Chains A and B, each alone.
Chain A
Amino acid sequence: MATQQTQVLGRALLTPAVALLFIWMIVPLAMTIYFSTLHYSLLDSETWSFVGLENFRYFLTDPAFLTALRNTLVLVGSVLAITILLGTPLALLLDQQVIGRSIVRLMVIAPFFVMPTVSALVWKNLLMHPVSGLFAWLATLVGATPIDWFNDAPLLAVILIVAWQWLPFATLILLTALQSQDEEQKEAAEMDGASALSTFIYLTLPHLARPITVVILIETIFLLTVFAEIFVTTGGGPGLQTTNIAFLIYSQALIQYDIGNASAGGLVAVVIANIVAFFLVRIVGRNLEA
C-alpha cells in the first residue's frame, strides 16, 4: 500500500531532525544540571567538588539575582508596553489611505533587520551621546539639559534601543491583522452612526486581541534573553543597573569563570523561560487545530 510506504518513509525522513534536536536539547541540559551541582571554577579547574544544591542557594540568594530578575522583568514589560502601545496606533495609521504607504512601511520595518550590535552602537554613539549625539542637540534646541543616558538612565536607554528594534515587529503583525479585518462590518457600524472610537473599541480591538497575544508571547521569548544590546552598550553596568538574567549568567561564566554558579543560573533561566513557553505552546497549539 502506498500509505504504508508513505508512513515508513515519513518516519525515516523525520528521524534525523528529531535525533539532532534531541541531542541538542538533552546533552547541554544534562551537562548544565551536572555542573550546577559542582563547585567548579575555570580559574582553578583541578579542584572541583560536589556541592549539591549549594550553587542554587548561592545564586538565588545573591542580591545580584534579584536585581537581574527585576531588570529582566522591567525590560520585557516596558518593551512590550512600548511596542504594543505605539505599534497599534501606527498600524491603524498605516491601514489608512496613505500616499506612498509602501515607502513608509519600508522605513517603519527597517529597524527589525538591523543587527543588535549595530543598533546598540549607533544609538549609544550617534544618538545618545551626551555631548555630540543627536538627542543632546535636540535637547539643547528646546533649552533642556542633555541626558547622559548611559550614566543617568542606563536601563531606560537599553529599553529604548530594544523597543526601537521590536516596534516594527509589533506594527507589522498588527497591520497584517488589520488588513484582514472585515470591511463590511466597519462600514455597517459607520452607517449605524458608530463613532470612530467605539468602532475601534468594539470591532477593531477584539479583532486585534489574537495578534496582540501572539506579539506578546513571541517578543517575550526573545526579550527574556536580550544580550548583545547590553554587552555592547553598558556591559551590565553601571553597577548592576542594566544586568539582566542573561547577562548575569554570562558574567558569572565567562568573566568570573564560576561554572557551577553560572550553570545553576542557567537552569533558573530555563525554568523562567519554560513558564513563559508553557503559555506560548498552548496558544500556538490551539492554532494548529484550526
Chain B
Amino acid sequence: MARKVTARRVWVSTAAAWLFGFMIFLPILWMVLTSFKTELDAFAMPPKFLVFHWTTENYATVQQRSDYIHHALNSIIVAGGSTLIAMIIAIPAAWSMAFAPTKRTKDVLLWMLSTKMMPSVGVLVPIYLIFRDFGMLDTRAGLVMILCLGNLPIVIWMLFTYFKEIPKDILEAARMDGATIGRELIYVLTPMAVPGLASTLLLNFILAWNEAFWTLNLSTLDAAPLTVFIASYSSPEGLFWAKLSAASTLAIAPIIILGWFTQRQLVRGLTFGAVK
C-alpha cells in the first residue's frame, strides 16, 4: 500500500496542490472578503486584500432589506418541501424495485432516468401556461411540485443504488424467522438504509436549493427563492459589490457546508454507483 515517497516529492505535490486549490477557491474567497468591505473598498484599484476597513455593515443591510429572510425562507421551503415529497414517493418505489424486482424493473428504471434528460427548456412553455391558468405562477406550492418531479428520477435512482447494496441474505434470514414485511421494514431494513436515505436527502436538497431554471422562470417575488433574489442584483444600476457579496455569501454558505459533508456520497449518488 504505502509506496516509498521522497520528502521532496511530498513537498512538491503539496505546494502544487495548494496552489491549484487556492486558485480554484479564489473566486469564493474573494467574494467573502469583498462582503466585509465598504462599497468604496470593494471597488478599490489596486484591490485591497486584507488591509481594509473590515465591516459587517453589508450583512446588516442585506438583512434589513427584509427581502433576504423572505427569499431564504422560500429557498428552505421549496428545496426542503420538494425533497421531502420526492423522498416519500421515491422510497416505496425504490424499495419495491430493489427488493421485489420484476422482468420490467430495469426498463422502468431507465425510463425514469430518461424523463430527467428531457430538457426543461423543451417543456417550459406548457408548464408556464399551465401554471398561469391555474394561478400557480409565483407560488411555493408550484415550485415545490416542479422541483419534486424534476428531481424524482434522481432520488429514485440514488435510493435504488443504496437499497441494492443491502445484502439480501439478511432479509431472507429475517423472513425465515417469521418477520412480517412491516417488521422487516422497521427493524431490519430501515437501520441499514438510514445512511443512504440521509445522503440522498442532503444531495437533493442541494440540487433543489441551487436549481435556477424553474425558479427564475416561474417565480417573481412571493415565492422567489434565493436564486431569484441574487439574480436581481444583475441589473446594472444595482452595482453594490459589497452587498452583492454579502448576499451571495449568505446564499451559498449553508449549501457549501452541506456539500462538504456529502462529497463522498456525491460521487456515488451522481454517477449512480458507476464510479466507486
Chain A residues in the interface with B (C-beta under 8 A): 2, 5-7, 9-14, 16-18, 20-21, 24-25, 27-29, 31-32, 35, 90, 93-94, 96-101, 103-127, 131-132, 134, 136-137, 164, 167-169, 172-173, 176-177, 180, 183, 186-187, 190, 210-211, 214, 218, 221, 224-225, 227-228, 231-233, 245-246, 249-250, 253-254, 259, 262-263, 266-267, 269-270, 272-274, 276-277, 280-281, 283-285, 287-288
A contact face: mostly helix, strand, loop, or mixed = helix
Residue pairs across A and B with Cβ atoms less than 8 A apart, 9 shown, are: A6-B100, A17-B89, A21-B149, A28-B126, A113-B210, A114-B256, A116-B210, A122-B31, A287-B274
Instruction: Verify B95–A109 contact, CB threshold 8 A.
Output: no
A115 to B78, CA, bound (A): 15
Set A12, A273, A276: member contacting B122, Cβ < 8 A: A273
Contact with A along B101-124 (1 / 0, CB 8 A): 010001011101111111111111
Known: A105-B263, A115-B227, A132-B47. 17 other contacts (CB 8 A): A10-B102, A16-B93, A17-B90, A28-B130, A90-B20, A98-B17, A110-B24, A113-B252, A113-B260, A122-B27, A123-B27, A134-B47, A263-B125, A266-B122, A274-B114, A280-B113, A285-B106
Which residues of chain B are within 8 angstroms of A20 by Cβ–Cβ distance? 89, 149, 152
A105 to B231, CA, bound (A): 29
How far does the Cβ of A171 sit from chain B's closest Cβ, in whole Å? 9
Which residues of chain B are within 8 angstroms of A269 by Cβ–Cβ distance? 119, 121-122
**A11-B96, A274-B117 given as contacts; is B252 within 8 A of A118 (CB)?**
yes
How far does the Cβ of A7 sit from chain B's closest Cβ, in whole Å? 6
Instruction: Decide if B77 is an interface residue (CB 8 Å cutoff).
Output: no
Instruction: Decide if B273 is an interface residue (CB 8 Å cutoff).
Output: yes
Instruction: Verify A115–B255 contact, CB threshold 8 A.
Output: yes
Instruction: Decide if B82 is an interface residue (CB 8 Å cutoff).
Output: no
**A25-B115, A109-B260, A121-B248 given as contacts; is B108 within 8 A of A100 (CB)?**
no
A21 to B16, CA, bound (A): 47
Set B20, B256, B274: member contacting A110, Cβ < 8 A: B256
Instruction: Verify B110–A284 contact, CB threshold 8 A.
Output: yes
**A21-B112, A281-B110 given as contacts; is B125 within 8 A of A32 (CB)?**
yes
Set A17, A214, A273: member contacting B92, Cβ < 8 A: A17
Contact with A along B189-212 (1 / 0, CB 8 A): 000000000000000001001101
A214 to B206, CA, bound (A): 21
Of the 9-residue stretches B52-60, B62-70, B238-246, which lies at the interface with chain A?
A: B238-246
Which residues of chain B are within 8 angstroms of A225 by Cβ–Cβ distance? 119-121, 213
Interface residue tally of chain B, by bracket? 35 or more
How far does the Cβ of A179 sit from chain B's closest Cβ, in whole Å? 9
Instruction: Verify B96–A172 contact, CB threshold 8 A.
Output: no
Set B16, B124, B230, B275: member contacting A266, Cβ < 8 A: B124
Instruction: Decide if B83 is an interface residue (CB 8 Å cutoff).
Output: no
A105 to B21, CA, bound (A): 7
Which residues of chain A are within 8 angstroms of B181 by Cβ–Cβ distance? 2, 5-6, 9
How far does the Cβ of A146 sit from chain B's closest Cβ, in whole Å? 10
Instruction: Verify A97–B216 contact, CB threshold 8 A.
Output: no
Q: Which residue of A lies closest to B160 (CB)?
A: A288
Instruction: Verify B24–A167 contact, CB threshold 8 A.
Output: yes
Instruction: Verify B30–A126 contact, CB threshold 8 A.
Output: yes
Q: Which residue of B lies closest to A252 (CB)?
A: B125
Instruction: Verify A210–B3 contact, CB threshold 8 A.
Output: no
Contact with A along B25-62 (1 / 0, CB 8 A): 11110110010000000011111000000000000000
A283 to B114, CA, bound (A): 13
Instruction: Verify B17–A101 contact, CB threshold 8 A.
Output: yes
